[in-house]
Amino acid sequence: MMTIFSLIINIIHLLSASIWIGGCFLLIIFSGSKTFKLHKESTSIFHTLSGLFRESVNASMILIFLSGIIMTIQKLSLVQTSLSYAVILGFKILISIWVSYRIWKFRKTNYPKYSNQIKEWLLGYNSFIVYGVLIFLLAGSLESITLN
């Protein structure tokens, strides 16, 4: 019975994370398209799409955190962890909390723009996809540590 529960939690976690990362990626590609920018209603369309996307991000983030907490508790109760596992897990949790804070902050400030391209990629809307991929890579590292 516990393995079915674990499987369901893993599926929920992976689907939610995929929706979040994939949605960010598609929104970035769509809004960055030169054809899209030429359309006279592009700003209005983008605000409508981002509003719809915001709801799926909210649901995905809640499901990611809840399922992630359950998965972490399960994994820590079953596996002897090492210092490297704890450090990577802690880093992954810190990045997740920071991304959540940045998303909340973005919604309060109405998607601010940054003066240079480096700051835009580190702190702007596009950074969410970068940090999401980093979280996926850290999850893969945690999995490989527990398999060894």
Cα–Cα separations (whole angstroms), residue 41 to 23, 24, 46, 111: 21, 21, 9, 19
Residue 17 clears pLDDT 70, i.e. is over it: yes
The Cα–Cα gap between 109 and 8 comes to 36
Give the model's confidence band at 108: pLDDT under 50 very low, under 70 low, under 90 confident, else very high: confident
Angstrom distances, CA of residue 57 to CA of 54, 89, 132, 142: 5, 23, 12, 24
Higher confidence at residue 123 or residue 92?
92
pLDDT single digits (tens) 58-85: 788 888 888 888 888 887 787 677 888 8
**8 A C-beta contact, residue 95 and residue 130:** no
User: Domain locations in the chain?
Assistant: 2-147
pLDDT for position 111: 65
CB of 60 within 8 A of CB of 22?
no
Q: What is the pLDDT of residues 48-57, one digit of tens each?
A: 777 777 778 7
Mean pLDDT for the chain overall: 80
Q: What is the mean pLDDT of residues 101-113?
A: 73
Sign for the pseudo-dihedral over CA of 68, 96, 140, 80: negative
d(CA 31, CA 42): 8
Report the distance separating Cα 66 and Cα 58, nearest Å. 12
Angle at 15 (CA atoms; ends 91, 110), nearest 5 degrees: 70
Does residue 12 carry a pLDDT above 90? yes
Read off the DSSP letter of residue 40.
Answer: T
Single out the residue of 104, 143, 139 nearest to residue 18, CA to CA: 139
Q: What is the pTM of this model?
A: 0.67
